[in-house]
Structure 1
Amino acid sequence: MEFLEFYLQGQRFGVNVAKIRQLMPYHNKLVTRMVGAHQFILGTLLWQGHSIPLIDLNLALGNPAKEQDDDTTRIVLVTEFNGSVNGFLVDGVNRIHRVNWNQMQPAGSFLGQFQAPINSTVTIDNHDILLVDLEHVNGEITPTVKSAEIQKDHRDLAEMRKNPEEVHLLLAEDSVTVQAVVLDTLGSAGFTQVSSCDNGGSAFARIQSIKQMAEEQNRPVSDFLDLIITDIEMPQMDGLTLCKRVKSELGIDIPVIIFSSLVNEAMSAKCKSVNADANVSKADTVGLIQTVDQLLKAA
């Protein structure tokens, strides 16, 4: 994967290049101030003829705000994910790095206890770079990934071979915020037996152990695991590789849903290339439940 290294107050951070549409020089005079806006929002700015929110990443990460008239080298990262375009103000950018997903390390429980918007780290030239969870930042302002209340009596469950409460799901998602939303939505739909992993490597290891247990008991894997939901961008192993290895290397024929903030035609083609059964935008939690239901009926 490729990530852009940027800095805030001298600290090095990163963000996946796939989320970035453009880098723009920051000019304070071009920002339209908003009365009553969230504390992280500096205002709006024009991008390709549209007004987009400008979010101060210093404030979002707990740093003190810079002076409003300090334009020196500051850059706006224009991003698009989950169907939303936003500008994120940073102090400056360094360069793009290309690394393997297995070089990325989960943020871990230490950072998690502070609810920091960091989902992974990577070491470059003996320096740790923190990968910012922009979905977490967005979720604190105007959530695009929201829990959905799913009423079971409004769904056609007749053709499912198991009741939702009997279905075993595995969720691989590195964003604490998104993971909580998905677990809440699945729970409201009756799916209460859900295991979760915060990176692709641990998800693959868990699936390997499930396969081994099934073989030892001479039972099908589907007795222990019915469906996998996975993000794409994760430390240790990305979701596309996870899907490919589950299907081809382990030979496990259970449905895999790619649940990503980067759903477009190119990404859909990549999902098909690894034999994923479906791909759903993180902004569409209702669609996720509908897709789970459909795949379980077809299983």
Structure 2
Amino acid sequence: MAGVLDSVNQRTQLVGQNRLELLLFRLRGRQLYGINVFKVKEVLQCPKLSSIPNSRQVVRGVSHIRGETIPIIDLSMAIGMAGIPQEELATSFVIITEYNRKTQGFLVTGVDRIMNMNWEDILPPPKGAGKDVYLTAVTKIEDKLVEIIDVEKILAEVSPLREDVTEELKTRSAERVPGHLPVLVVDDSSVARRQIERCLTAIGMEVVTKNDGKQALNYLKEITGDGSTARDHLSLIISDVEMPEMDGYTLVTRIKENPALSGMYVMLHTSLSGVFNRAMVQKVGADDFMAKFSPDELAERVMEIIDQN
């Protein structure tokens, strides 16, 4: 598993085909969980952990890996289950990931395999699961339910990001010409949608949100059904990449091939590792890419885009 990213070039061919590869793993018990391989830097046997004074209980310690000091988060504990016992750490695994410009490890009890999947088979959590559930999606593999955890929700609780734009940017936004068209924000994570919406409303923008690419595409077709173009209704689109049913890359492809939508400015805004994204963004024809999540950077970039368009 340590060489899980050895064939990066092969995996980039999935871009725009609404496909992904899931690394399957287990926590405490037989339930399978999944994480997008593009977020995984390495999988290794749990290394020696050094404790951090006054850290959250869910952070089991830090480890020095490849010259970097990385916090190790007990994923079982993070989603409300009992943590992995100290005596089982030696036989456990750590999945080293990159989210939101930060590297962290997730402690799991077992790593299963990698599965090539279609995003159409990745579905939103069941209705009625509740707003506090730590799932962003579910799927079935060989009749077994696989749960995909909302890692952004976990990280927002373990290591909260600053969500507010600075007063200087608010002042600058107030000096701009009012009355801009809304921004469409597409993201399956409720935490990410809240963060982006809070950022944009702080600079005076109206925001429309959709939970995945399929919802967004249906909405775009609906508002342009009278013969208008998307630019008659929206300033720009900010879309996540990883989303159930239709991912962000496929959404961009569908937008750019539709004459009523193709003139729309689309920014991909993702927690996926920046190592791969530039080539992918070019491939699908997105207008811009930004790694999550810096409120000032996002606000500044949105103001620039709107002023230029």
Query: Where in structure 2 are the equivalents of 1:224-239 lying within 5 Å?
Result: 224-239=233-248
Q: Secondary structure at the match of 1:95?
A: strand
Q: Check the 8 A contact 2:170/2:203 in 1, yes or no.
A: yes
Report the counterpart of residue 293 of structure 1 in structure 2. Answer: 303
Q: Cα distance, 1:156 vs. partner? A: 8.7
TM-score computed with the length of structure 1 as normaliser: 0.89
Report the counterpart of residue 18 of structure 1 in structure 2. Answer: 38
Report the counterpart of residue 117 of structure 2 in structure 1. Answer: 99
Q: Cα distance, 1:221 vs. partner? A: 3.2
Q: Check the 8 A contact 2:45/2:90 in 1, yes or no.
A: no
**What is the aligned counterpart of 2:135 among 90, 112, 118?**
118
Q: Secondary structure at the match of 2:38?
A: helix
Unaligned residue ranges in structure 1 (runs of 5+): none
Relative to structure 1, is the Cα distance of residues 272 and 5 closer, same or farther in structure 2, using a 3 angstrom cutoff? same
Query: Where in structure 2 are the equivalents of 1:142-153 lying within 5 Å?
Result: 142-144=159-161, 146-149=163-166, 151-153=169-171
Report the counterpart of residue 22 of structure 2 in structure 1. Answer: 3
Q: Secondary structure at the match of 2:22?
A: strand
Residues 86-114 of structure 1: CA deviation (Å, up to 9, x unaligned): 1110010111111011111012542342x
Residues 185-239 of structure 1: CA deviation (Å, up to 9, x unaligned): 1111111x211111111111111111103x1xxx443232221110011111111
Point out the more displaced range, 145-154 or 226-235.
145-154
Q: Secondary structure at the match of 1:290?
A: helix
- 1:194 matches 2:204: no
Q: Cα distance, 1:264 vs. partner? A: 2.4
Q: Secondary structure at the match of 2:204?
A: coil
Q: Check the 8 A contact 1:149/1:185 in 2, yes or no.
A: no
Q: Check the 8 A contact 1:119/1:133 in 2, yes or no.
A: yes
Number of aligned residue pairs: 287
Residues 74-131 of structure 1: CA deviation (Å, up to 9, x unaligned): 1111111221111110010111111011111012542342x12210111111111011
**What is the aligned counterpart of 1:129 among 146, 170, 182?**
146
Q: What letter is aligned with 1:228?
A: I
Point out the more displaced range, 61-70 or 196-205.
61-70
Report the counterpart of residue 185 of structure 2 in structure 1. Answer: 171
* Separation of aligned partners in 2, 1:47 and 1:145: 27
TM-score computed with the length of structure 2 as normaliser: 0.87
Q: Cα distance, 1:271 vs. partner? A: 1.0
Q: What letter is aligned with 1:70?
A: E
* Separation of aligned partners in 2, 1:106 and 1:271: 25
Query: Where in structure 2 are the equivalents of 1:11-90 lying within 5 Å?
Result: 11-27=31-47, 30-71=48-89, 73-90=91-108
Unaligned residue ranges in structure 2 (runs of 5+): 1-19
Report the counterpart of residue 4 of structure 2 in structure 1. Answer: none
Q: Cα distance, 1:69 vs. partner? A: 1.4
- 1:248 matches 2:257: yes
Report the counterpart of residue 15 of structure 2 in structure 1. Answer: none
Q: Secondary structure at the match of 1:177?
A: helix
Q: Cα distance, 1:140 vs. partner? A: 0.6
RMSD: 1.9
* Separation of aligned partners in 1, 2:260 and 2:229: 12
Q: Secondary structure at the match of 1:266?
A: helix
Relative to structure 1, is the Cα distance of residues 119 and 145 closer, same or farther in structure 2, using a 3 angstrom cutoff? farther
Report the counterpart of residue 138 of structure 1 in structure 2. Answer: 155
Q: Secondary structure at the match of 1:69?
A: helix
Q: Cα distance, 1:154 vs. partner? A: 2.0
Q: Secondary structure at the match of 2:89?
A: coil
Report the counterpart of residue 279 of structure 2 in structure 1. Answer: 269
* Separation of aligned partners in 2, 1:188 and 1:178: 16
Q: Matched residues, percent identical?
A: 28
Q: Secondary structure at the match of 1:55?
A: strand
Q: Check the 8 A contact 1:263/1:280 in 2, yes or no.
A: no
